[in-house]
Amino acid sequence: MPRPPRGRNIMNMQPKLSDAQNATVRAVLDQVKASGRTALTAPEGKVVCDAYGIAVPQEGVATSADEAVALATRMGLPVVLKIVSPDILHKTEAGGVLVGVKSAEEVRAGYDRILANAKAYKADARIDGIQVQQMLTGGTEVIIGSITDGSFGKLVAFGLGGVLVEVLKDITFRLAPATKADALSMLDGIQAAEMLHGVRGGDPVDREALSDMIVRVSQLVTDFPEIVELDLNPVFATKSGAIAADVRIVVDFDPAPARHRPSQDEIVTSMNRIMKPEAVAVIGASSEDGKIGNSVMKNLINGGYKGQIYPIHPKADEILGYKAYRSVKDVPGVIDAAVFAIPAKFVAAALIECGEKAIPGAVLIPSGFAETGNEEGQREIQEIGRKYNIRLMGPNIYGFYYTPANLCATFCTAYDVKGSAALSSQSGGIGMAIIGFSRSAKMGVSAIVGLGNKSDLDEDDLLTFFEQDDNTKIIAQHCEDLKDGRSFAEVARRVSKKKPVVVLKAGRTSAGAKAASSHTGALAGNDKIYEDVFKQVGVIRARSLRQLLEFARGVPVMPTPKGENVVIITGAGGSGVLLSDACVDNGLQLMSMPDDLDAAFRKFIPPFGAAGNPVDITGGEPPTTYKNTIKLGLQDDRIHSIILGYWHTIITPPMVFAKLVVEVKEEMKALGIEKPIVASLAGDVQVEEAAEYLYAHGVPAYAYSTELPVEVLGAKYKWARGAGLL
């Protein structure tokens, strides 16, 4: 197959189009719109592809045998010859088609034969010429396409062609526009990626040409939002090019209006006032035990919040020792956030008062909005929020915690263990699990935020705030949907370069998605799209609630690894095997041990200890063996991370092990050496105390599990790779 036209070198840049090319596509779309169609014809599709340098089979009409030969030679042989005549509808029947025409001589002979056949078939037919069309053969059939997702907007897709791939759903997505790097990652991102490398002696595909086509398609649909679906199916990918044999383009000239998004500065300004307020009003504050407005007041007070607290109550003069006001408008000073603890039906009126008082944030605890079918009520408060420029958290939430300000703006129990993880949840139940786990695991947090119905504030607002919040080192979010996946992805792409972003996307599976739908009325997205987009923008995906929590706890305590080489040092060979399994499961690379390093380790371990990686120091060893091998692991530059497998023995009891690990770690740190270390502890219950000690000293450690420590290290690596640090 001949090399298709390539256009400019676009490695790491988007193809730039001339105004003329753009105008060509615009003209085609205008024509489609004018004729009231929703799809392009094949010739229109070809014009669009040509304008964007997307290779389609070349073709031309010849009116002489010489011209046919010239055309065929230019586009490359073999070709297909077809009669062009308005009077001949059944070309094949008329002997008007020749496929697989392989040489100039055959083209010449074919031209004459078709003409003769046509005349024999219908003597008086008007003949406009013979179409010469590039013939696509061989290579690997792939699909390149684009869809418009309700949450993520324009996506570009890639997969192999054929029914087996359809059955296996082996297709990958990226946000459009896709960079060259995105496009190349798609070629590796399908299960059957090996097929593209050439198997059983077949040719590898031209990765440059294929990825180029992906980039161009993604740019086309970005430039022309009215293109809602596009399919190049099949694309013939050979070792020297890629040509789309068929083009299908669907348009929609009446797209949904874009969602309002405040600017990044506006978000940061409002969010800083809401999360770190100097004064908080509690609308519906109460002196009565058991009332939500009472719990909120107590939590603010007992949580140690130092700012102003203004209880708002229609009648009371004072609540829990604080002067009460009839309305926020009666409060003399500035208010940064108003926590709502009143029934849904009173929210709108109170919110207008907040607007008149110029309060930038409303924390809407009340339920009774969209989640109970009251869409109208939710729309009403959204409109008030927009009108007065009040950001709304919720409704239908437990509130939020921001520990650096000792702020517990919630009806749940107070929480005060300060730390660097900021968590959020769409669901109140999950929020409570976050609080319980955090307290139990002694995981310090900077914030816990309930997002509930997400009438306004959502995951990307939080990302934007936590990005610039020096108290936060990792952001972990539970969500059931993303109202604006496109915006989330764009923010997450930026933020994840600086701080790990972990997301537990509930409703992964079809049964889960159905439950999500009945819970929030949100349309659950296609899980594969979430999977691919999260990866594209550097978001670490948690597979379970426990993973979300463990990642939030473990990832920030470790330094960032400087490379991919992981070494396992273990006292239990059995743990070594399971830890190795876990490394593969979590995409970690067990270092292939260099001979000199192997020899260096061997000096410290018994002669029957196992060579290589895992380093099996064997079970009966004293503390010095652990110490020497761990120190060597930290000192050698070729090793980037260490996984420890401890085996409880009388000779090296759990706390002795834990303390020696911390000691070696601190000693190396003083010399400027810091590497991630995680530990799996096998032993009697004393290992639990040892694990806690290790965790408190920056070594994520787990008793009775060979999986969890490796999952946490794996998450750190995923982040570092996504942020371009590896």
Beta carbon of residue 581, minimum distance to a copy of itself (angstroms, whole number): 3
Residue 636 to residue 447: CA distance in whole angstroms: 38
**Which residue, among 329, 330, 332, 350, has the nearest Cα to 340 in the 3D structure?**
350
Instruction: CB nearer to a copy of itself: give 40 or 171.
Output: 171
| Secondary structure of residue 476 in the 3-state scheme | strand
**3 state DSSP class of 99:** strand
Nearer to a copy of itself, 371 or 490 (CB): 371
> Would you say 240 and 3 are in contact if contact means Cβ atoms under 8 Å apart?
yes
Rounding to the nearest 10 degrees, give the CA dihedral for residues 361, 367, 373, 377. Answer: -40
Beta strands 391-393; 399-402: pairing state? unpaired
| 119 or 197: CB nearest a copy of itself | 197
Q: Cα–Cα distance between 254 and 722 in angstroms, integer?
A: 36
Q: State in angstroms the smallest separation of the CB of 560 from a copy of itself.
A: 23
Q: Between 433 and 726, whose beta carbon lies closer to a copy of itself?
A: 433
Nearer to a copy of itself, 176 or 542 (CB): 542
Range 367-372 contact pairs with CB under 8 angstroms and sequence separation of 24 or more: 367/395, 367/396, 368/343, 368/344, 368/395, 368/396, 369/344, 369/395, 369/396, 369/453, 369/455, 370/396, 370/453, 370/455, 370/520, 370/521, 371/396, 371/452, 371/453, 371/519, 371/520, 371/521
* Terminal C-alpha separation, the chain: 39
User: Which residue shows structure tokens 């799809």?
Assistant: 39
CB of 553 to a copy of itself, least distance (A): 11
- Smallest distance from the beta carbon of 427 to a copy of itself, in angstroms? 2
Which letter, b or e, does each residue of 564-596 get, where b requires 16 or more Cβ atoms within 10 Å of its Cβ? bbbbbbbbbbebbbbbbebbeebebebbebeee
In the complex, minimum distance from the CB of residue 505 to a copy of itself, in angstroms, rounded to a whole number:
9
Beta carbon nearer to a copy of itself, 412 or 558: 412
What are the distances in angstroms from CA 468 to CA 79, 218, 279, 540, 585?
A: 60, 31, 21, 20, 33
Q: What is the DSSP string of 567-636?
A: EEEES-HHHHHHHHHHHHHTT-EEPPPPHHHHHHHHTTS-TTSBPSSSEE--TT--HHHHHHHHHHHHH-
Asked if 702 and 687 touch (Cβ cutoff 8 Å), the reply is no
CB of 700 to a copy of itself, least distance (A): 15
Neighbours of 330 (CB within 10 A): 12
The residue count for the chain: 726
Q: Which is nearer to a copy of itself, 22 or 705 (CB)?
A: 705
Instruction: Round to whole Å and give the CA distance between 146 and 227.
Output: 9
Question: Based on CB atoms, which residue is closest to a copy of itself, 171 or 195?
Answer: 195
Question: Which residue's CB is nearer to a copy of itself, number 253 or number 704?
Answer: 704
Provide the minimum distance between the beta carbon of 529 and a copy of itself in the complex, in angstroms, as a whole number: 16
Nearest distance from C-beta of residue 694 to a copy of itself, angstroms: 15
- Nearer to a copy of itself by Cβ, of 54 and 479: the residue is 479
Question: Using CA atoms, how far apart are residues 440 and 306, in angstroms rounded to an integer?
Answer: 26
> How far apart, in Å, are the Cα atoms of 526 and each of 145, 182, 452?
16, 20, 21
Query: Which of 399, 428 has the CB closer to a copy of itself?
Result: 428
- Give the shortest CB-687-to-a copy of itself separation in angstroms: 6
Q: What letter does residue 320 receive in the DSSP assignment?
A: T
Nearer to a copy of itself by C-beta: 404 or 619? Answer: 619
d(CA 616, CA 637): 20
Nearer to a copy of itself, 115 or 168 (CB): 168
